[in-house]
Protein backbone atom coordinates (compact mmCIF):
# COMPACT_ATOMS: atom_id res chain seq x y z
CA UNK A 1 0.00 0.00 0.00
CA UNK A 2 1.59 3.24 -1.21
CA UNK A 3 0.66 6.52 0.46
CA UNK A 4 1.49 10.01 -0.75
CA UNK A 5 0.87 13.62 0.24
CA UNK A 6 1.05 14.82 -3.37
CA UNK A 7 -1.97 15.94 -5.37
CA UNK A 8 -4.22 13.04 -6.42
CA UNK A 9 -6.72 14.30 -9.02
CA UNK A 10 -9.10 11.36 -8.76
CA UNK A 11 -9.32 11.47 -4.98
CA UNK A 12 -9.56 15.27 -4.95
CA UNK A 13 -12.49 15.26 -7.39
CA UNK A 14 -14.20 12.44 -5.51
CA UNK A 15 -13.96 14.50 -2.29
CA UNK A 16 -15.35 17.51 -4.16
CA UNK A 17 -18.24 15.32 -5.34
CA UNK A 18 -18.97 14.40 -1.73
CA UNK A 19 -18.90 18.08 -0.75
CA UNK A 20 -21.39 18.86 -3.50
CA UNK A 21 -23.65 15.88 -2.82
CA UNK A 22 -24.04 16.81 0.84
CA UNK A 23 -25.95 19.91 -0.30
CA UNK A 24 -28.39 17.67 -2.20
CA UNK A 25 -28.91 15.85 1.10
CA UNK A 26 -29.28 19.09 3.08
CA UNK A 27 -31.72 20.50 0.51
CA UNK A 28 -33.96 17.44 0.58
CA UNK A 29 -33.82 17.29 4.38
CA UNK A 30 -34.72 20.96 4.67
CA UNK A 31 -37.59 20.62 2.21
CA UNK A 32 -38.91 17.52 4.01
CA UNK A 33 -38.98 19.45 7.27
CA UNK A 34 -40.45 22.57 5.66
CA UNK A 35 -43.49 20.68 4.34
CA UNK A 36 -43.82 18.50 7.46
CA UNK A 37 -43.15 15.25 5.60
CA UNK A 38 -40.79 13.63 8.09
CA UNK A 39 -43.30 10.89 8.88
CA UNK A 40 -44.51 10.25 5.32
CA UNK A 41 -43.31 6.68 5.94
CA UNK A 42 -43.69 5.24 9.47
CA UNK A 43 -41.08 2.52 8.92
CA UNK A 44 -37.29 2.56 8.52
CA UNK A 45 -34.88 1.82 6.83
CA UNK A 46 -37.36 0.82 4.09
CA UNK A 47 -40.28 3.01 3.06
CA UNK A 48 -43.56 1.12 3.33
CA UNK A 49 -41.38 -1.97 3.28
CA UNK A 50 -39.77 -1.13 -0.05
CA UNK A 51 -36.89 0.75 -1.63
CA UNK A 52 -39.34 1.80 -4.33
CA UNK A 53 -42.65 2.45 -2.52
CA UNK A 54 -45.75 2.85 -4.60
CA UNK A 55 -46.73 6.46 -5.28
CA UNK A 56 -43.57 8.14 -4.03
CA UNK A 57 -42.95 9.86 -7.37
CA UNK A 58 -46.39 11.47 -7.45
CA UNK A 59 -46.99 12.41 -3.79
CA UNK A 60 -44.89 15.43 -2.74
CA UNK A 61 -44.57 14.38 0.92
CA UNK A 62 -43.56 10.83 0.02
CA UNK A 63 -41.19 12.13 -2.66
CA UNK A 64 -39.47 14.52 -0.24
CA UNK A 65 -38.95 11.94 2.50
CA UNK A 66 -37.98 9.00 0.28
CA UNK A 67 -35.61 11.16 -1.80
CA UNK A 68 -33.99 12.28 1.44
CA UNK A 69 -33.50 8.67 2.46
CA UNK A 70 -32.10 7.68 -0.92
CA UNK A 71 -29.73 10.65 -1.00
CA UNK A 72 -28.62 9.74 2.53
CA UNK A 73 -27.83 6.20 1.39
CA UNK A 74 -25.83 7.59 -1.54
CA UNK A 75 -24.01 9.93 0.86
CA UNK A 76 -23.12 6.92 2.98
CA UNK A 77 -21.65 5.06 0.01
CA UNK A 78 -19.65 8.14 -1.06
CA UNK A 79 -18.31 8.55 2.48
CA UNK A 80 -17.31 4.90 2.75
CA UNK A 81 -15.45 5.19 -0.55
CA UNK A 82 -13.77 8.41 0.56
CA UNK A 83 -12.66 7.03 3.95
CA UNK A 84 -11.20 3.85 2.42
CA UNK A 85 -9.51 5.75 -0.43
CA UNK A 86 -7.93 8.18 2.05
CA UNK A 87 -6.77 5.35 4.30
CA UNK A 88 -5.14 3.51 1.41
CA UNK A 89 -3.46 6.40 -0.45
CA UNK A 90 -3.15 9.49 1.77
CA UNK A 91 0.07 10.03 3.70
CA UNK A 92 -1.20 12.79 5.99
CA UNK A 93 -2.61 11.24 9.18
CA UNK A 94 -4.98 14.12 9.92
CA UNK A 95 -6.71 13.63 6.58
CA UNK A 96 -7.06 9.89 7.13
CA UNK A 97 -8.59 10.60 10.55
CA UNK A 98 -11.02 13.09 9.01
CA UNK A 99 -12.15 10.39 6.58
CA UNK A 100 -13.00 8.06 9.47
CA UNK A 101 -14.70 10.91 11.34
CA UNK A 102 -16.84 11.62 8.28
CA UNK A 103 -17.83 7.96 8.12
CA UNK A 104 -18.66 7.87 11.84
CA UNK A 105 -20.84 10.98 11.50
CA UNK A 106 -22.76 9.64 8.50
CA UNK A 107 -23.46 6.39 10.35
CA UNK A 108 -24.66 8.26 13.45
CA UNK A 109 -26.76 10.53 11.24
CA UNK A 110 -28.42 7.53 9.65
CA UNK A 111 -29.19 6.00 13.03
CA UNK A 112 -30.57 9.28 14.40
CA UNK A 113 -32.71 9.70 11.30
CA UNK A 114 -34.04 6.16 11.70
CA UNK A 115 -34.75 6.53 15.42
CA UNK A 116 -36.50 9.83 14.69
CA UNK A 117 -39.07 7.78 12.71
CA UNK A 118 -39.25 4.71 14.95
CA UNK A 119 -39.56 6.71 18.19
CA UNK A 120 -41.99 9.31 16.84
CA UNK A 121 -44.82 8.14 19.08
CA UNK A 122 -42.77 7.85 22.29
CA UNK A 123 -43.90 10.65 24.60
CA UNK A 124 -41.45 12.45 26.90
CA UNK A 125 -43.04 13.60 30.18
CA UNK A 126 -43.07 17.39 30.50
CA UNK A 127 -42.40 18.07 26.81
CA UNK A 128 -44.69 18.70 23.87
CA UNK A 129 -42.38 16.92 21.44
CA UNK A 130 -42.01 13.15 21.40
CA UNK A 131 -38.56 11.57 21.67
CA UNK A 132 -38.50 11.00 17.92
CA UNK A 133 -39.35 14.63 17.24
CA UNK A 134 -36.60 15.76 19.63
CA UNK A 135 -34.05 13.80 17.62
CA UNK A 136 -34.68 16.11 14.66
CA UNK A 137 -32.63 18.83 16.40
CA UNK A 138 -29.31 16.91 16.80
CA UNK A 139 -29.91 15.44 13.33
CA UNK A 140 -30.04 18.96 11.85
CA UNK A 141 -27.05 20.24 13.83
CA UNK A 142 -24.83 17.24 13.09
CA UNK A 143 -25.59 17.65 9.39
CA UNK A 144 -23.86 21.05 9.50
CA UNK A 145 -20.81 19.56 11.25
CA UNK A 146 -20.69 16.89 8.54
CA UNK A 147 -20.65 19.62 5.87
CA UNK A 148 -17.58 21.16 7.54
CA UNK A 149 -15.75 17.81 7.78
CA UNK A 150 -16.32 17.10 4.08
CA UNK A 151 -15.13 20.59 3.13
CA UNK A 152 -12.01 20.11 5.27
CA UNK A 153 -11.20 16.88 3.42
CA UNK A 154 -11.86 18.44 0.00
CA UNK A 155 -9.72 21.48 0.89
CA UNK A 156 -6.83 19.35 2.17
CA UNK A 157 -6.84 17.31 -1.03
CA UNK A 158 -7.07 20.31 -3.36
CA UNK A 159 -4.22 21.44 -5.59
CA UNK A 160 -4.42 24.88 -3.94
CA UNK A 161 -3.69 23.39 -0.50
CA UNK A 162 -1.04 20.88 -1.55
CA UNK A 163 0.90 23.11 -3.93
CA UNK A 164 0.37 26.14 -1.68
CA UNK A 165 -0.34 28.37 -4.66
CA UNK A 166 -3.32 30.13 -3.13
CA UNK A 167 -4.88 31.07 0.18
CA UNK A 168 -1.91 32.41 2.15
CA UNK A 169 1.47 33.93 1.41
CA UNK A 170 2.49 33.26 5.00
CA UNK A 171 0.89 33.06 8.43
CA UNK A 172 -2.26 35.18 8.81
CA UNK A 173 -2.35 37.62 11.70
CA UNK A 174 -3.86 36.82 15.07
CA UNK A 175 -6.82 39.19 14.64
CA UNK A 176 -7.89 37.51 11.41
CA UNK A 177 -7.67 34.05 12.93
CA UNK A 178 -9.53 35.07 16.08
CA UNK A 179 -12.35 36.75 14.14
CA UNK A 180 -12.58 33.69 11.91
CA UNK A 181 -13.00 31.32 14.82
CA UNK A 182 -15.59 33.61 16.42
CA UNK A 183 -17.50 33.79 13.13
CA UNK A 184 -17.48 30.00 12.87
CA UNK A 185 -18.52 29.50 16.50
CA UNK A 186 -21.37 32.00 16.23
CA UNK A 187 -22.57 30.46 12.95
CA UNK A 188 -22.70 27.01 14.54
CA UNK A 189 -24.56 28.50 17.51
CA UNK A 190 -27.01 30.21 15.15
CA UNK A 191 -27.62 26.97 13.26
CA UNK A 192 -28.33 25.19 16.55
CA UNK A 193 -30.83 27.90 17.48
CA UNK A 194 -32.37 27.67 14.01
CA UNK A 195 -32.73 23.88 14.27
CA UNK A 196 -34.38 24.18 17.69
CA UNK A 197 -36.66 26.92 16.35
CA UNK A 198 -37.71 25.01 13.23
CA UNK A 199 -38.43 21.76 15.03
CA UNK A 200 -40.34 23.50 17.82
CA UNK A 201 -42.55 25.10 15.15
CA UNK A 202 -41.37 28.56 16.19
CA UNK A 203 -40.67 29.89 12.70
CA UNK A 204 -43.69 32.20 12.87
CA UNK A 205 -43.68 32.81 16.63
CA UNK A 206 -43.01 36.47 15.81
CA UNK A 207 -45.03 37.08 12.62
CA UNK A 208 -43.53 40.51 11.90
CA UNK A 209 -40.21 41.65 10.47
CA UNK A 210 -37.99 43.55 11.06
CA UNK A 211 -39.86 44.52 14.24
CA UNK A 212 -41.46 42.21 16.77
CA UNK A 213 -44.93 43.75 16.76
CA UNK A 214 -47.26 45.42 14.29
CA UNK A 215 -46.67 48.69 16.16
CA UNK A 216 -42.92 48.59 15.50
CA UNK A 217 -41.66 47.41 18.92
CA UNK A 218 -38.19 45.89 19.03
CA UNK A 219 -39.12 43.47 21.83
CA UNK A 220 -42.12 41.12 21.76
CA UNK A 221 -45.02 42.04 24.05
CA UNK A 222 -45.44 38.46 25.29
CA UNK A 223 -42.86 35.74 25.73
CA UNK A 224 -42.86 31.95 25.69
CA UNK A 225 -40.19 29.47 24.65
CA UNK A 226 -41.13 29.70 20.96
CA UNK A 227 -40.97 33.49 20.96
CA UNK A 228 -37.65 33.29 22.83
CA UNK A 229 -36.19 30.97 20.18
CA UNK A 230 -37.38 33.20 17.34
CA UNK A 231 -36.07 36.37 18.99
CA UNK A 232 -32.72 34.69 19.83
CA UNK A 233 -32.39 33.71 16.16
CA UNK A 234 -32.92 37.34 15.10
CA UNK A 235 -30.58 38.75 17.75
CA UNK A 236 -27.85 36.30 16.79
CA UNK A 237 -28.27 37.33 13.15
CA UNK A 238 -27.43 40.91 14.12
CA UNK A 239 -24.36 39.80 16.09
CA UNK A 240 -23.21 37.60 13.20
CA UNK A 241 -23.59 40.40 10.70
CA UNK A 242 -21.30 42.63 12.75
CA UNK A 243 -18.69 39.95 13.47
CA UNK A 244 -18.55 38.66 9.88
CA UNK A 245 -18.28 42.22 8.54
CA UNK A 246 -15.25 42.80 10.78
CA UNK A 247 -13.84 39.41 9.74
CA UNK A 248 -14.07 40.24 6.04
CA UNK A 249 -12.51 43.64 6.71
CA UNK A 250 -9.62 41.92 8.51
CA UNK A 251 -9.18 39.44 5.64
CA UNK A 252 -8.86 42.29 3.16
CA UNK A 253 -6.30 44.08 5.35
CA UNK A 254 -4.23 40.98 6.14
CA UNK A 255 -1.17 41.02 3.87
CA UNK A 256 -0.78 37.24 4.17
CA UNK A 257 -4.19 36.63 2.59
CA UNK A 258 -4.26 36.16 -1.19
CA UNK A 259 -7.04 37.23 -3.58
CA UNK A 260 -8.53 33.72 -3.39
CA UNK A 261 -9.44 34.05 0.28
CA UNK A 262 -10.36 37.70 -0.09
CA UNK A 263 -12.82 36.69 -2.78
CA UNK A 264 -14.29 34.04 -0.50
CA UNK A 265 -14.54 36.68 2.21
CA UNK A 266 -16.45 38.98 -0.12
CA UNK A 267 -18.78 36.11 -1.01
CA UNK A 268 -19.54 35.76 2.71
CA UNK A 269 -21.04 39.24 2.71
CA UNK A 270 -23.12 38.36 -0.35
CA UNK A 271 -24.35 35.14 1.27
CA UNK A 272 -25.14 36.99 4.48
CA UNK A 273 -27.20 39.57 2.58
CA UNK A 274 -29.15 36.86 0.74
CA UNK A 275 -29.69 34.99 4.01
CA UNK A 276 -31.15 38.05 5.74
CA UNK A 277 -33.47 38.71 2.80
CA UNK A 278 -34.62 35.08 2.74
CA UNK A 279 -35.21 35.20 6.49
CA UNK A 280 -37.39 38.27 6.00
CA UNK A 281 -39.35 36.60 3.20
CA UNK A 282 -39.89 33.50 5.34
CA UNK A 283 -41.88 35.75 7.70
CA UNK A 284 -43.53 37.88 5.03
CA UNK A 285 -44.62 34.77 3.06
CA UNK A 286 -46.04 33.01 6.09
CA UNK A 287 -43.20 30.46 6.02
CA UNK A 288 -43.36 29.43 2.38
CA UNK A 289 -41.75 25.98 2.12
CA UNK A 290 -39.51 26.83 -0.84
CA UNK A 291 -38.25 30.09 0.69
CA UNK A 292 -37.68 28.34 4.02
CA UNK A 293 -35.70 25.61 2.28
CA UNK A 294 -33.62 28.25 0.49
CA UNK A 295 -32.94 29.90 3.85
CA UNK A 296 -31.57 26.62 5.22
CA UNK A 297 -29.40 26.01 2.13
CA UNK A 298 -27.87 29.49 2.16
CA UNK A 299 -27.21 29.10 5.88
CA UNK A 300 -25.29 25.89 5.19
CA UNK A 301 -23.38 27.59 2.34
CA UNK A 302 -22.48 30.47 4.65
CA UNK A 303 -21.16 28.04 7.25
CA UNK A 304 -19.21 26.05 4.63
CA UNK A 305 -17.65 29.19 3.12
CA UNK A 306 -16.68 30.55 6.53
CA UNK A 307 -15.22 27.20 7.52
CA UNK A 308 -13.22 27.04 4.29
CA UNK A 309 -11.67 30.47 4.88
CA UNK A 310 -10.90 29.67 8.54
CA UNK A 311 -9.43 26.32 7.53
CA UNK A 312 -7.08 27.89 4.98
CA UNK A 313 -5.98 30.63 7.37
CA UNK A 314 -5.18 27.92 9.96
CA UNK A 315 -3.00 25.93 7.59
CA UNK A 316 0.18 26.70 9.54
CA UNK A 317 -1.03 24.68 12.52
CA UNK A 318 -2.78 22.00 10.42
CA UNK A 319 -0.22 21.15 7.74
CA UNK A 320 3.06 22.66 8.89
CA UNK A 321 5.10 25.22 6.99
CA UNK A 322 3.03 27.23 4.50
CA UNK A 323 5.81 28.79 2.49
CA UNK A 324 5.01 28.53 -1.23
CA UNK A 325 6.73 25.68 -3.01
CA UNK A 326 9.12 26.42 -5.83
Number of residues that make up the chain: 326
Question: Mean pLDDT, consecutive 10-residue segments, the chain of 326 residues?
Answer: 87 97 96 94 95 95 97 97 97 96 97 96 91 94 95 94 67 85 96 94 94 95 95 96 96 87 92 96 96 96 95 77 41
pTM: 0.91
Those residues whose C-beta lies under 8 Å from the C-beta of residue 62, and which sit 6 or more positions away, are: 37, 40, 41, 47, 53, 55, 56
Q: What is the pLDDT of residue 320?
A: 59
Give the residue from 71, 74, 63 showing the smallest Cα distance to 40: 63
Residues 251 and 265: beta-carbon distance below 8 Å = yes
DSSP 3-state of 50: strand
Q: What is the pLDDT of residue 325?
A: 40
Cα–Cα distances in angstroms (integers) from residue 175 to residues 180, 188, 217, 235, in the given order: 8, 20, 36, 24
Q: What is the pLDDT of residue 163?
A: 80
Q: What is the pLDDT of residue 301?
A: 96
Amino acid sequence: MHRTSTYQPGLAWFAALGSAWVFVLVTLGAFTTSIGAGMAFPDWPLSHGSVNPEGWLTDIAMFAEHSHRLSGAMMGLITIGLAVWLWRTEERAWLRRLGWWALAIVIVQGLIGGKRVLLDSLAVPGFEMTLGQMLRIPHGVLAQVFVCVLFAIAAGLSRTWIERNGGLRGASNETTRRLGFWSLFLLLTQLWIAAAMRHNHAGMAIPYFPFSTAEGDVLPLAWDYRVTLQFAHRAMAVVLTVVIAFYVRSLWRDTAVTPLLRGLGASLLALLTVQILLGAYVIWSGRNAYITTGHVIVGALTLATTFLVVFFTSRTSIDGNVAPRA
